[in-house]
Amino acid sequence: MVIEAKHPKQNLDHHVRKLRYYLSSLLVRYGLLTNGKELRIYERGQNGMELVFRCAGEEISDKIEKIKSLVGRENTKPKPARAIPRRVSRQKPRQERKDMMKIIAVYHNKGGVGKTTVVVNLAAALSRKGKRVLVVDLDSQANTTFATGLIKFSEEDDDDIRDCNIGHTLEKEDFFHVHEITKKSQFNTPEVDVIPSHINLMDKETDLDRGRVAEFILVDKLNAVEAMYDIVIIDTPPSLNLFARIPIFVADYLIIPSDLKPFANQGLTNVKKFVKNVNNHRRRYKKEPIEVWGVLPSKISTNSKFTKHTLPERIRRVKNVYGMDVMDSCIYQREVLAQCTDHFETIDDQEMSDPKSVFEFKPNSQSAEEFESLADEVMKRIGEF
């Protein structure tokens, strides 16, 4: 049995979601939740978690026999006739999860390192390899939402994302499920599913962080669609806030794009500390630490002297000074990548944004080859090769 005792001023309704997560991940049958003023007992069954007992704090002594009949030692022993089937869970050891949906977070707390470019073109490359890909934009700047072609409006009154985006998914446990909020993106062939972000996401941070359940809601909602997708890629904000913490809690793997310039390298210290703190949070819920694949060199200069002399030295510094692995792939800064995002189409004499993946824009370019190699490395790391 899991017991959660809260301060008398805390509303128990705010902790039901976390208790449900405990029972599911630990495969525990009963959960007891109390704040002294009220006591509740929940039971996990085949149809989820149900409230089976509730009383005020002053009634506990009068109803102790009822409580004992539910969760007393003699009544909580496993009963074969009511055995609960093991639920497919994100907490299964990685070696047992070869055929399960994989979740990749792309994160660096330094901005301007090519994170969005990596997310959208990696998703495109994996989709072209036959993988069913879902992109989740958790950055309120919504650069990934824009780069995947989902912002088609030119005036605020035409904004069709404002009322249906990742913020709604995180704050509503029983509404705005993945299949309801996902949009089909036409920036690539085959299409990639995207959960969009919006600038109003930043307004939700305080309330979501206070509840401390947003990450659990996202875990459950992604678990519900794991038969629909092979790979989920989550874009993150360049910060140390809630919307960076959620993906690192939820994901299986972490890619850290970096231009390897001094400020980006110095930021790796903050990244390591942040990941360590989130891993401590994961352990409390029986989740393995996120597997950090390492730093992905991105937005790297193509200058021959730089690539021959400076780049190898910066890679060595990442390994020796900051103690982080460096991925085999490398994404260079090429004009074609900027042109992909800045692509426009003309409709009724008006120019409308129409971003494309590098594979749609210039499939035979060096950048396309680089993202093809990155996709191959990702698939090898998750055991697809």
Structural domains of the chain, with CATH: 2-82 (no CATH), 98-381 (3.40.50.300)
Determine the residue type at 199. Answer: I
- Alpha-carbon distance 218 to 246, whole Å? 8
Q: Which two tokens stand for residue 113?
A: 């390192």
Alpha-carbon separation of residue 2 from 24, 44, 71, 72 (angstroms): 11, 11, 10, 13
- Alpha-carbon distance 221 to 215, whole Å? 10
The pLDDT of residue 23: 79
- Alpha-carbon distance 42 to 29, whole Å? 8
The pLDDT of residue 89: 39
Contact status, residue 19 vs residue 30, Cβ threshold 8 Å? no
pTM, 2 dp: 0.78
- Alpha-carbon distance 101 to 83, whole Å? 27
Contacts of 27 (CB under 8 A, 6+ apart): 84, 86, 87
Contacts of 360 (CB under 8 A, 6+ apart): 124, 187, 188, 189, 340
Low-confidence ranges of the chain (pLDDT < 50): 79-91
The pLDDT of residue 82: 38
Contact status, residue 105 vs residue 291, Cβ threshold 8 Å? no
Runs of H (alpha helix) within the chain: 16-26, 64-71, 115-128, 143-147, 166-171, 178-181, 205-211, 214-223, 242-250, 262-284, 304-305, 311-320, 335-341, 358-361, 366-381
The pLDDT of residue 141: 95
Alpha-carbon separation of residue 96 from 2, 7, 89, 99, 383 (angstroms): 26, 39, 11, 8, 11
